Every structure is written in C-alpha cells, then in structure tokens.
Structure 1
C-alpha cells in the first residue's frame, strides 16, 4: 500500500496551508495513462481522488498529511492498480454533479458520500463500503436530545450544506443553517450560531473524543436513515468501478476492512465481525 507520505494533495485553484499543493484548474488528459488491467487514469502512475476536506474520520489533515478511513480504503484500490493515490480537495457540491470526474481532473470521488438515486443520475457508484447513521448533537445548555426538542424549544439547527443531513432536516420541516464544511458545523456550535446540528454519527464520535467538546455538547437521538456510502466514478467507467468494488469486497473478506474500521472509526457495530 502506498504510504501516507507518498500521497500528493492538490487543491482546485486554491492553496491550503500545511499540505503539498499543486494547482489543478484544468484537465490532465495529456498526462493520462492506464493502470493494471487496462484501467484508465487521468494521470499516469496516479489514482486521483476528489474529496472535500476536512471530514474526519473519513478524510482530514493530520500533521500535514491527509489521512482517514476513505483515504485508507482508496489506498487499497491504488495498491491493486500499481499506482499511488493523489488527493484533490474540491467543493462538496461537485460530488452531486460529477463535475470534476467529467472534466478529467479526478478518477474517483471519496468524501463520505451517501449513495442516492439523484446522485446516480450523474455518477456511477461503487458497492457500498459504509453503513451510515445521522445523529443530533446539541449544546448541553440547550437541553435538547431530539429534533422534537429542537422544534419545541425553537432552537437553531445546523447541518453541512449539500449533505443528506441537511436534506433530512429540511424534510422534517426545519430550515437549518448551512455550513460549508464539518469543521464549520462544529464551530457553529462552539460560537453559538446554532444550538444543535444533524450530521453523520461517525463525525460526532470523532468530535466527542475531544474533552472540550464532550464537556460542552451532548449526543442526542440517533437518526436511522438507511444510508450507505459509496465511491463515485464517471458514468460508464466500468473498469475503475470494478477495481474499486473488488478492493472493497476483498477487504471485507480478508479482515482488512475491519482493521481499518477499528483504526479510523472505532469499535465495529454489534453483529459485525
């Protein structure tokens, strides 16, 4: 598996402090190549991944490197293809449209992204690699433990923009404050912009490992939405999709998936071994 050190992190027409950066504002088609098995890649020797930072524990910066569960799983794909993973940080809204896949800047997108029928219109998804649950996190001061409490107390609710958490909140009759990233969601709670948020449960788990967060916020209701995450590729890219599916399936079968889950997410869900 390529080491974390070997990954190059790119930003789309931007720079981020602490990361190895290369501007990526146009298609890299002239540098395109093939990986093992004739899998097309937008840059020879690389598997270029679109993501949106930060979104711990799936992808985030740690000591100047981008790490996380999604990163580790995609590394398995890159290893099988005989290439190195390169990460491109892009706005999350691009994942719904497949813009950076269609423009030839990325081979796949990995961003803790829920598979939905609407998104399937624009991209092809891998087999599911993660069963997701939403959760409510509220300030202890608010006393809210459910969305019903948020509504009854007329509290301000927040969510990350363009996510299924935001969609769920809207479907329940809320008009949530939209934040651009998960870090911004947490900061909204810290600064009192909102009293509670709806976001993926693993993200909340990560936040609550910080004592300051655990002292200030309380985990409320778990929201079972039946969501599953998938990696996306450009529509019709069957060879890469097959390679991703194989890496996920093999990792589940040989125990690698469970090892990575424990490392980045935490204890396995009940009934899963």
Structure 2
C-alpha cells in the first residue's frame, strides 16, 4: 500500500504541540481534524492536529495522561467502546468486536493499547449507529462503526483523526440491468438504496442524480434483503462493505466505485462525546498508528484489495 507524505506543521502548530505535551490529555478544547482533502482509499491522510508529533512516540509507548488512573474515561481504570450489532465484516470478525479481529476490531484494540489499556480492561457496548452520532451524554469513551467525519456531525459529537479513507460503491443483482452500468449516467434510471443515517445515499444522490428517490433502510442487512427482493435495483455502500457483500451473496456483483474526482472519499473517525477529555488522547493514538505503518498493515490484513474495482465516472 502507498504511504502518503504529510505536510510539515507551521511554527504556530509547533507551539500548540508543545502546549499539549505540557498539559497531557486533559485539555478542554477537543481536536477536530479537517476532512476536506481527498485521501487514498487504503491510507488516511490525517489533517494537522494540535497533538505531539507521533514520530516522537514509540509504536508501543502508551500515550501519557490517557490511561488508567487519568480520570479521562467514563469508568476509571477501564475503557468503554461502542459499535452497532451485528458487527459486519470486514470491519469486525465473527460478530465479536472484542476479539481484536477485522479492520475496525483491530484498530480499536491498537488504539486501546496505545492509551494504556489491555484487552482485559476494555469492554464493548452495543450502540446503534444513529444513537452514537446523536448529541448528548454518551455511555462510552469512543465508538467505532464506519463513521464518516463531516462538519454537520461535528456539531453533535467529537471525531478523532481519521483512520481510514474510502470510496462509495454500488452493488447490484448479477442479472439486473443495473449490473451493466459503466458510469454514473448509466445509474440515473435505477432505484438506489442504502443504510439510513449513512453518507452513502447522500453521496449517491449528489453524484448520480437519479430520476427516482433513494430508499433508506435501518441496517445494511435490511438493504441487502431489499436488493434481493427487488425493492431496489442497486445498493450503495462503502467499497470494502460492497466487496464483502458481493463475495457473500453469489447472486450479486460489484458494479463499481464512484470516482474520487466526482465524490471525495469518506474519512472514518472514532466518535466521542462532544468536548470529551479523551478526544485528544484518541487522536494521538490514531496518529501514532498511522505514522508507524500499523494502519497500513491492518488494512492489508483485513480489507480486500480494491485496486481492480471499476470506477464509475
């Protein structure tokens, strides 16, 4: 996988880094990374953060001031993580987010370790996708569930630095006319569906501008059932999920992915309560995983190579 060079921080940023190093991870102002610049599909391009340079940290060194005894977590001495149920592959494995397998399962474990929490000190709770993004007090320290970083969501929750960048893709029944689409223009006459509260349907509407309104479903499982039942002609999901569906359901096929020239890739970030004292801590951990090459390695292990997927211009 291709690594991406990052811009050097400005002098002002370096002063901010020094201030954060001096105060640990209890600063009241959370870090909110920018997500405006497109990033490669398999490697997120983190925006400048007011955090210590991850290159100065050991790949296995815990982030100072963030671990057990710091008072930053919901329950001192333990870390509470959240995701939805079921926990889908390739993001998780065996519907068990706590086993450290699947891309997001592995990322969650690595972040926890960077914060100083071993697997015995981490517990997962089930929180529906929309509930995790809703404003208000959370009962978790951070949630991981393919949450796309966006400005409108930042008004309700905090996001960490991005840990993955991904295109949206289209899956159709193998025998459907929609399976023959080779461009976004070919999709305008078809009925599209996606999971509600995700960015997939919005991306499709803005990119394809279909003649028919899209349909939102409570879960990806519901959307898959609608596709199989003929309620929709094509399903819009993130690219790794689309590849997983086309492998899982033999009657479906990956139609293609939206071009980055017309639809910037989504960037996934960890979700935290607004103004959480853990936001900076978690961002430092993610940045360290990025700079040490761990995120690349995990993506290579758990996510199917997307290089050969057709681009729908």
**TM-score normalized by the length of structure 2:** 0.65
One of 70, 74, 80 as aligned partner of 1:38:
70
CA distance in 2, matches of 1:253, 1:189: 40
Are 1:136 and 1:147, in contact at CA under 8 Å, matched by a contact in 2?
no
Deviation at 1:68, TM superposition (A): 2.3
Equivalent in the alignment of 1:183: 221
Equivalent in the alignment of 2:272: 233
Report matched runs for 1:91-240 at 5 Å: 91-99=128-136, 102=137, 104-144=138-178, 145=181, 146-152=183-189, 155-171=190-206, 172-173=209-210, 174-210=212-248, 213=249, 215-223=250-258, 224=260, 225-226=263-264, 227-238=266-277, 240=278
**Structure 2: unaligned runs, 5 residues or longer:** 1-65, 309-313
Q: Give every structure 1 segment of 4 or more consecutive aligned residues whose post-TM-superposition deviation is greater than 6 Å.
A: none
CA distance in 2, matches of 1:167, 1:76: 31
Equivalent in the alignment of 1:55: 88
Are 2:90 and 2:303, in contact at CA under 8 Å, matched by a contact in 1?
yes
Q: 1:81 to 1:51 in 2, by over 3 A?
A: same
Q: 1:96 to 1:167 in 2, by over 3 A?
A: farther
Are 1:55 and 1:182, in contact at CA under 8 Å, matched by a contact in 2?
no
Equivalent in the alignment of 2:106: 72
From the two aligned structures, give the one with the greater helix fraction. Answer: 1
Q: Deviations over 1:216-245 (max 9, x none)?
A: 22222311332211112122224x222222
Deviation at 1:250, TM superposition (A): 1.7
Are 2:88 and 2:95, in contact at CA under 8 Å, matched by a contact in 1?
no
Equivalent in the alignment of 1:16: none
Deviation at 1:43, TM superposition (A): 2.1
CA distance in 2, matches of 1:36, 1:266: 36
Larger RCO (alpha carbons 8 Å, 6+ apart)? 2
From the two aligned structures, give the one with the greater strand fraction. Answer: 1
Deviation at 1:161, TM superposition (A): 0.6
CA distance in 2, matches of 1:86, 1:268: 32
Aligned-CA RMSD value: 2.5
CA distance in 2, matches of 1:124, 1:63: 25
CA distance in 2, matches of 1:183, 1:59: 15
Equivalent in the alignment of 1:85: 122
Q: Deviations over 1:129-166 (max 9, x none)?
A: 111110011112222225433433xx332111111012
Q: Deviations over 1:29-50 (max 9, x none)?
A: xxxxx83472511123322122
Q: Which has the larger radius of gyration?
A: 2
CA distance in 2, matches of 1:123, 1:269: 33
**TM-score normalized by the length of structure 1:** 0.74
Tell me the number of residue pairs that the alignment of Structure 1 and Structure 2 aligns: 228
